[in-house]
Amino acid sequence: MRSNAYTLFFTAIITVVLGFLLSIAATTLKERQELNMNIDIQKNILRALEFEENPEIPWTVNDVQYLFTNFIRGIVVQQDGSLAEGIVPANINDEDEDKLFPVFLKFKGEVCEGYAIPISGKGLWSTLYGYLAIHPDGKTVKGITFYKHGETPGLGGEVDKRWFTDNFKGKSLFSDDGTLVSIAVVRGVVDGESKTVQHQVDGISGATMTGKGLTNFLLSDLKKYEPFLKRIAAGDQL
């Protein structure tokens, strides 16, 4: 019969070994999760900026990293719309989120073909996270994507579907007099004869509150970038 000391020693050894293995597994899993999250965000920035993915041949991690590294440039702008020198989006601290704003630029050679900014806010059941892309004119929507939300499947969950997001393309963020008006998600279908048709998109059936939430936080986020967008629209160079 083995002694209590042996039993305790054996149990301690097993506990240490299992704890070590679990620690390694948790670290490895966390690194993988962070990589997947970053790749998903990069995919959405690329899609918002009209990089087209072949549905039959989905992007690999290497594909996304190659496109992002070679065609996307991250900058940070300040409250007055000027460039924050020496800072990249990844270096923005939590306490500076109300003063420094990330922008992702799409380049083809030396030519900038668009800007993408992060957007987020409350829908009906969840916070929606995505990116809004804007043409080089600083006022026309190039694309919009959502990479994370918890809205109801088949209702508010349709917010990330192409049939909905494609409606934003070509819409104008500013009125003719230069006032920021953003894009509103209407209830039902946009009136094609309305004077505000360029600032509205069709709503999602059964998801009025999700649409209202999107309308509200899109305008709120755009206000942070208004000075920057107006500088771009005026032809200022970064």
Q: What was the pLDDT predicted at 141? A: 97
Q: What whole-number percentage of the chain has pLDDT above 70?
A: 89
Distance CA 68, CA 89 (A): 14
What's residue 25's pLDDT? Answer: 61
Predicted pLDDT at 169: 96
Q: How many Cβ atoms from other residues are within 10 Å of residue 187's Cβ?
A: 13
Q: How confident is the model at residue 195 (pLDDT cuts 50, 70, 90)?
A: confident
Answer for the pair 125, 152: CB distance below 8 angstroms, yes or no. yes
Among the residues of the chain, which ranges form H helices? Answer: 4-48, 61-71, 162-165, 208-233
**What is the rounded CA–CA span in Å between residue 78 and residue 227?**
9
> For residue range 143-192, what is the model confidence (pLDDT) as tens digits?
999 999 999 998 899 999 999 999 999 999 999 999 999 999 999 899 88
* Structure confidence by residue, pLDDT tens digits, 71-128: 999 999 999 999 999 899 988 988 888 899 999 999 988 899 999 999 999 999 999 9
Give pTM, 2 decimals.
Answer: 0.84
- The overall average pLDDT reported for the chain is 89
CA torsion 32-35-36-42 (nearest 10°) is 180
Q: What is the pLDDT of residue 37?
A: 87
**Do the Cβ atoms of 114 and 105 come closer than 8 Å?**
yes
